[in-house]
């Protein structure tokens, strides 16, 4: 006994050819919202995104970037531990010193150029001061400038030992042939 099959005619969504399939397959595709295609080639072509190579590369880079951000958030502790372990295994102080020495000439030249501009120099000094204050005082770093002004004021009122000795004339005379300073009588 032959199986009873109803066939339905349809038009391929990709190439537009007229074809026939089992009525159940056509009905299921319509209900599910899927397309009807004549073969796998047309189905594959319908799923393609028609992008240029540049668009495809940019899309892939963006997806990889977003995946990396998500992964680093989820596995932050594990990644940090792995990096620390790798650093302990592979760090060689002698080779690191050589690498730093190679870069030092460039760094010195760069900083000389950077500090020639007074605006950049002022910004860098302010940034460094703020960074040191945050490291030293923690959440109270905003109070550091006030404390610094207070310390300078106190230092201005009370002379240091060097200033007192200089005022007494300690550094005025030296004996010939000796590095020892003689105190001047006052």
Q: Across the 186 residues of the chain, what is the mean pLDDT of every consecutive 10-residue run?
A: 73 88 86 86 83 88 95 94 96 95 94 91 93 93 92 86 86 59 48
What pLDDT sits at residue 2?
A: 55
Q: Residues 181, 166: contact at Cβ < 8 Å?
A: no
- Return the CA Rg of the chain: 39
Domain-embedded: residue 93:
no
* 113, 107 contact by CB (below 8 A): no
Query: What is the tally of structural domains in the chain?
Result: 2
60: in domain: no
Structure tokens, 143: 């109070």
* Domain region containing 145: 109-169
Closest CA relative to residue 10, chosen from 1, 22, 104, 57: 22
- Assess if residue 119 is contained within a domain: yes
Q: What is the pLDDT of residue 139?
A: 93
What 3-state class would DSSP assign to 14? coil
Burial of 10 (0-12, 13-18, 19+ CB in 10 A): buried
Q: Per the domain annotation, does 53 fall within a domain?
A: no
DSSP three-state, residue 131: helix
Considering the domain boundaries, does residue 37 fall inside one?
yes
Six-digit token pair at 170? 């300690």
What pLDDT is stored for residue 63 in this prediction? Answer: 94
Residue 19 β-bridge partners: 10
Q: What is the pLDDT of residue 4?
A: 61
Is position 32 within any domain? yes
40 in a structural domain:
yes
Q: Record the pTM.
A: 0.37
Specify the pLDDT at position 185.
47
pLDDT at 186: 43
Alpha helical stretches, state H, the chain: 23-32, 40-47, 53-74, 76-90, 93-116, 118-137, 144-157, 161-168
Q: Give the span between the Cα atoms of 15 and 43, in whole angstroms.
A: 10
Three-state DSSP class for 8? strand
Rounded Cα distance between 165 and 175, Å, is: 18
d(CA 22, CA 160): 102
In a domain, 123, yes or no: yes
Tokens 């240029």 belong to residue: 52
């Amino acid at each position: 006994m032959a199986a009873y099959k109803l066939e339905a005619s349809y038009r391929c969504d990709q190439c537009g050819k007229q074809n026939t399939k089992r009525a159940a397959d056509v009905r299921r595709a319509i209900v599910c919202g899927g397309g009807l295609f004549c073969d796998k080639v047309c189905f594959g072509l319908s799923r393609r995104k028609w992008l240029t190579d540049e668009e495809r590369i940019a899309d892939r880079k963006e997806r990889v970037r977003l995946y990396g951000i998500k992964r680093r958030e989820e596995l932050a502790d594990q990644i940090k531990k792995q990096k620390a372990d790798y650093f302990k295994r592979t760090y060689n102080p002698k080779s690191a010193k050589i690498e730093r020495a190679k870069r030092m000439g460039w760094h010195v030249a760069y900083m000389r150029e950077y500090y020639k501009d007074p605006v950049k120099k002022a910004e860098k000094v302010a940034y460094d001061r703020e960074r040191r204050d945050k490291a030293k005082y923690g959440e109270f770093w905003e109070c550091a400038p006030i404390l610094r002004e207070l310390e300078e004021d106190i230092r201005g009122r009370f002379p240091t030992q060097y200033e007192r000795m200089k005022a007494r004339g300690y550094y005025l005379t030296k004996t010939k042939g000796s590095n020892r300073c003689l105190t001047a009588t006052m």
